[in-house]
Amino acid sequence: MDTTLFDPGLLGVIVAAGLLTWMTRVGGPWLIARVRLGPAANAALEATPGAVLVALVAPAALSRPSDAIAALFVCLIARRVPMALAVALGVLAVVILRRLL
Amino acid sequence: MTTITLPSPVSVPREVALGAVHALPILAGAVPFGLLLGSLAAKAGLTPLDMGLMSGIIFAGSSQFVTVEMWGHGAPGLAVIASVLLVNLRHLLMGATLAPRFQGVPPVRAALALFFMTDEVWALALRRGGQLTFAYWFGVGLTLYVGWLCATVAGTLAGALVSDPAAWGLDFTFIAVFLCLLAGLWSGAGSLPPWLASAAAALAVHSLLPGGPWHILAGAVAGGAVAAWRGRSATPGQEAK
């Protein structure tokens, strides 16, 4: 039987990630009072969250045709229906498409 | 004054309750995700305590999905930490838009309140505008915090019941969630060049170094570089036109 209560290595990762996450939350109001970003740096910072999400999904979403079509479908409905529904429909679509393709 | 400090005529319990009520529809949407995250975490070998600590300390949905997925695939801890930081960098921008609300707030109080700033708390706080109070903020934040903690731990406890996520298309949930978050960031055709650059860089690096987190970093850098180049001469005022 696995009697592990928690993983110490993972806890270290969680604490470090949590601390950095908290710093990103506190950092906005803190920085805005102190730093004046140039237009290029500002544009890069604005584009970063989207670029990270694209990089996260691109390899998996384009790994096979069924998943790519389902991903496109989710993109099309994402702004028209609540997120939970968009995700549920996307999962349903991928299950059907994986059987067909 | 438009600071977050409590104006005297406002009832604290009423503001807390109002925040909690406003958080309920968001909670209804977040609970299934918490359950799902928990069940995926169980599949990745996390215990309920692991999950509870993660939700309690990080408290950021998409980066917790990233953590579970990467940890489950045996990614090195530093890579997981770096990816969480990259995913959560958006908080800097969100927080910057709330800066007027936090002007003059004691630093310790602001730091405590901002711990709870998820995308949803931020959106509700922004909507409150100048009416925003510290009590309302905590009404929203604590409701979502407790709900998220319970849902993710419950999902991990029940996780053994979900046998093979891929058979049910549940592996696609990660992709769908991130695509929905991405769609929320869409701000017209100008969003496209950095995203395409990111996709190209991520695919290229992923084909060379599959499994690692480096494609995420490559995509972030490529997207940021394209955006910086495109925005190098624009001022915020010009962009608004």
Residue pLDDT, tens place only, B50-93: 999 999 999 998 889 889 988 988 889 998 999 899 888 878 87
Whether the pLDDT of residue B98 is over 50: the answer is yes
For residues B92 and B161, state if they share a domain. Answer: yes
**Interface membership of A37 toward B (CB under 8 Å):** no
Q: Is A26 exposed, middle or buried (0-12, 13-18, 19+ CB in 10 A)?
A: buried
pLDDT at A6 over 50: yes
- Interchain contact A44–B (C-beta under 8 A): yes
Residues B127 and B207 in one domain: no
Residue B44: inside a domain: yes
**Can you tell me the distance from the alpha carbon of A43 to that of B163, in angstroms, rounded to the nearest whole number?**
44
B37 & B151 share domain:
yes
Give the span between the Cα atoms of B145 and A11, in whole angstroms.
19
Say whether both B181 and B195 belong to one domain.
no
Judged by CB atoms closer than 8 Å, whether chains meet at B172 and A90 is answered as yes
Q: Count H helices, E strands: chain A?
A: 4, 0
Q: How many CB pairs under 8 A join A and B?
A: 288
pLDDT given at position B116: 96
In a domain, B26, yes or no: yes
Asked if residue B110 lies in contact with residue B102, where contact means CB atoms within 8 angstroms, the answer is yes
pLDDT at B165: 57
Contact B198 A58 (CB under 8 A): yes
- Residues of B (42-81) whose Cβ lies below 8 Å from A: 45-47, 49-50, 53-54, 57-60, 62-63, 66-67, 71, 77, 80-81
The reply to whether B35 and B84 lie within a common domain is yes
When the pLDDT of each residue in chain B is averaged and rounded to a whole number, the result is 84
Same domain, B214 and B134: no
Do B141 and B78 have their domain in common? Answer: yes
DSSP annotation string for B123-135: HHHHHHGGG--HH
- The model's pLDDT over A24-59, given as tens digits with 9 standing for 90+, comes to 999 988 887 787 778 888 888 778 778 888 988 899
Least confident range from A15-19, A83-87, B6-10: namely B6-10
* pLDDT tens digits along B218-232: 898 899 999 999 988
B241 within some domain: no
Q: Hey, are the CB atoms on B197 and A67 less than 8 Å from each other? A: no
The range of the structural domain enclosing residue B196 comes to 188-232
Structure tokens at B70: 């990467």
pLDDT value of residue A13: 95
**Number of domains into which chain B is organized:** 2
B7: in domain: no
Enter the DSSP assignment of A97.
H
Contacts of B181 (CB under 8 A, 6+ apart): A53, B62, B119
**Partner-chain contact A22 B226, CB within 8 Å:** no
| Chain segment B161-185, per-residue pLDDT in tens | 655 556 677 778 778 877 887 888 8
Note whether B178 and B192 are same-domain residues.
Answer: no
To the nearest whole angstrom, how far is the Cα of A2 from the nearest Cα of chain B?
A: 10
Q: Write out chain B residues lying below 8 Å of A70, CB-based.
A: 172, 175-176
Q: Is the pLDDT of residue A86 over 50?
A: yes
Is residue A56 within 8 angstroms of chain B, CB to CB?
yes
Task: Check whether B26 has a pLDDT greater than 50.
Answer: yes
User: Which residue pairs, CB below 8 angstroms and at least 24 apart, start in B121-127?
Assistant: B122/B91, B122/B94, B122/B95, B122/B97, B122/B98, B124/B19, B124/B22, B124/B23, B124/B26, B125/B98, B125/B101, B126/B97, B126/B98
The pLDDT score that the predictor gives to residue B141 is: 96
Name chain A contacts of B69, Cβ cutoff 8 Å.
none
Contact list, B210 vs chain A (CB under 8 Å) = 59
Answer yes or no: do B164 and B220 share one domain. Answer: no
Categorize the per-residue pLDDT at B156 as very low, low, confident or very high, splitting at 50, 70 and 90: very high
In the predicted structure, residue B211 carries a pLDDT above the cut 70:
no
Q: Which of A2-16, A34-48, B105-119, B151-165 has the highest mean pLDDT?
A: B105-119
Q: What is the ipTM of this complex?
A: 0.78
Lowest mean pLDDT among A40-44, A67-71, B121-125, B231-235: B231-235
B93 and B200 belong to one structural domain: no
**B103 with B130, same domain?**
yes
Question: What is the C-alpha separation between B235 and B230, in angstroms, rounded?
Answer: 11
pLDDT (0 to 100) of residue B56: 97
Residue B225 shares a structural domain with residue B172:
no
Where do the structural domains in chain A lie, given as residue ranges? 7-36, 49-101
Q: Do B67 and A17 touch (CB under 8 A)?
A: yes
pLDDT at B237: 43
Q: Please tell me what DSSP assigns to residue B159.
A: G
